[in-house]
């Protein structure tokens, strides 16, 4: 039976929106249009649901916000407010409805690939700000069909000051999301931001408590330091603390999930013109992925490509998505997962966690 792939983590942005991205500069390696056309080029070795010819097919993707210039407060003088983030929602609405503006890089043929939308949201503003913001998101989606694709929100904390996740409004905002049936995508960065971000996330989850209904989906294995010498990893203090914190996150709630994604950004970069040794990459990742599967179980781990960010370390848009597919295949095989568990990681876990249908 063919395996449906749900790519649980991609970003999309047209060239016209580049100036509204907080990280954009003209020299940025991602400083050009990355929309559905470019994504389908990257993933073209995998059929879509309408043309299943291989053992795997791309059922669709879940869009994650792209870090637009924004502020928690919308109506403060000289602050960017919510405009750019809401314009991103309108862009995804056009993708999902098959109503492109010329030059945006998508068309009606691929509208059904958009399975879920995770916009930015002012989580530190607490329930009051979230209530007002999400009402505006609903307006921008225009139809009940597209509003139902908004499955949760993200507010990146990897580049925010220490302590933001522990602010009372932030914690209350997460509780409010759970009450509304919305998930929270958690983005922290162990390698560049420091392990203190993971410690803070664990404490935040402890403050939420078992009674919280919010589902937290953790991005990119928490971006661990995969550049450590492989021989040093098992006993390295950085690995050991990352392992302890990952385990605590998994134990905090059965409603916490992990994305098997983002590794190319943390590994030494791959050459676009040289075929990588996939088995070597699988071996290098195994200590880290074993921790994740030991802690979460295959039932709470989901595939994500982190496209187009994967292009930077993965060798570029022509090869990186397919390279990551092959690496994940190797990880799942070496882990000894059953066929049912593999189907889960490729798609069914994301279907359950995000509450989507394929």
Q: Which of 101, 179, 116 is nearest to 149 (CA)?
A: 116
The whole-angstrom separation of Cα 139 and Cα 86 is 10
Q: Per the structure block, which two tokens stand in for 279? A: 């088995």
Mean residue pLDDT across the chain: 96
The answer for residues whose C-beta is within 8 angstroms of residue 219's C-beta and 6 or more apart is 9, 64, 185, 186, 187, 188, 259, 261, 262, 304
Question: Exposed, middle or buried: residue 103 (CB in 10 Å: 0-12, 13-18, 19+)?
Answer: exposed
Give residue 75's pLDDT band: very low, low, confident or very high (50, 70, 90): confident
Q: Give the per-residue pLDDT at 132.
A: 98
Task: Identify the domain containing residue 34 by its residue range.
Answer: 3-354
- DSSP sequence for 64-100: E---BS--S-SSSTT--TTHHHHHHHHHHHHHHHT-P
**Residue 245 pLDDT > 60, yes or no?**
yes
Q: Is the pLDDT of residue 76 over 90?
A: no
Mean pLDDT of the 290-309 span? 98
Please, which pLDDT band fits residue 51 given cuts at 50, 70 and 90? low
pLDDT for 353:
98
The predicted model gives 228-241 an average pLDDT of 97
Q: Give the number of domains in the chain.
A: 1
| Percent composition of the chain: helix, strand, coil (DSSP 3-state, to 5) | 50, 15, 35
Residue 283 has pLDDT above 80, yes or no: yes
CATH number at residue 202: 3.20.20.140
pLDDT digits (tens, 9 = 90+) for 210-219: 768 999 999 9
Over residues 140-185, the pLDDT tens digits come to: 999 999 999 999 999 999 999 999 999 999 999 999 999 999 999 9
Indicate if the pLDDT at residue 84 is higher than 90.
yes
166 vs 208: CA distance, rounded Å: 10
Q: How wide is the angle at C-alpha 149 spanned by C-alphas 146 and 155, nearest 5°?
A: 115
pLDDT band at 50 (very low <50, low <70, confident <90, very high): low
pTM value > 0.95 = yes
CA–CA separation, 79 and 76 (whole Å): 6
Cα–Cα distance between 226 and 283 in angstroms, integer?
12
């Amino acid at each position: 039976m063919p395996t449906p792939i749900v790519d649980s983590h991609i970003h999309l942005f047209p060239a016209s929106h580049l100036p509204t991205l907080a990280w954009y500069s003209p020299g940025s390696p991602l400083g050009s249009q990355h929309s559905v056309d470019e994504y389908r080029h990257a993933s073209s070795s995998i059929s879509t649901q309408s043309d299943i010819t291989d053992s795997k097919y791309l059922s669709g993707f879940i869009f994650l916000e792209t870090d637009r210039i924004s502020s928690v407060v919308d109506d403060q003088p000289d602050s960017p407010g919510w405009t750019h983030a809401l314009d991103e929602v309108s862009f995804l609405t056009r993708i999902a409805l098959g109503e492109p503006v010329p030059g945006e890089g998508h068309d009606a043929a691929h509208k059904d690939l958009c399975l879920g939308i995770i916009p930015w949201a002012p989580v530190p503003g607490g329930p009051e700000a979230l209530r007002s913001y999400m009402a505006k998101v609903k307006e921008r989606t225009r139809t009940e069909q597209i509003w139902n694709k908004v499955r949760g929100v993200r507010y990146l904390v990897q580049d925010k000051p220490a302590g933001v996740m522990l602010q009372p409004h932030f914690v209350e905002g997460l509780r409010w999301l759970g009450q509304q049936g919305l998930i929270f995508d958690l983005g922290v960065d162990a390698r560049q931001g420091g392990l203190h971000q993971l410690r803070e996330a664990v404490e935040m989850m402890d403050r939420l408590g078992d009674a919280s209904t919010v589902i937290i989906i953790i991005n990119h294995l928490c971006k661990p330091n995969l550049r450590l010498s492989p021989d040093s990893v098992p006993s390295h203090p950085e690995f050991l603390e990352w392992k302890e914190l990952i385990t605590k996150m998994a134990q905090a709630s059965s409603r916490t999930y992990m994305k098997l994604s983002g590794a190319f950004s943390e590994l030494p970069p791959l050459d676009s013109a040289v075929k990588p040794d996939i088995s070597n990459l699988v071996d290098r990742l195994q200590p880290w992925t074993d921790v994740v599967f030991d802690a979460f179980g295959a039932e709470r781990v989901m595939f994500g490509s982190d496209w187009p960010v994967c292009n930077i370390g993965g060798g570029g848009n022509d090869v990186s998505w397919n390279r990551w597919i092959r690496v994940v295949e190797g990880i799942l095989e070496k882990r000894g997962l059953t066929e049912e568990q593999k189907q889960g990681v490729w798609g069914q876990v994301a279907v359950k966690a995000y509450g989507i249908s394929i």
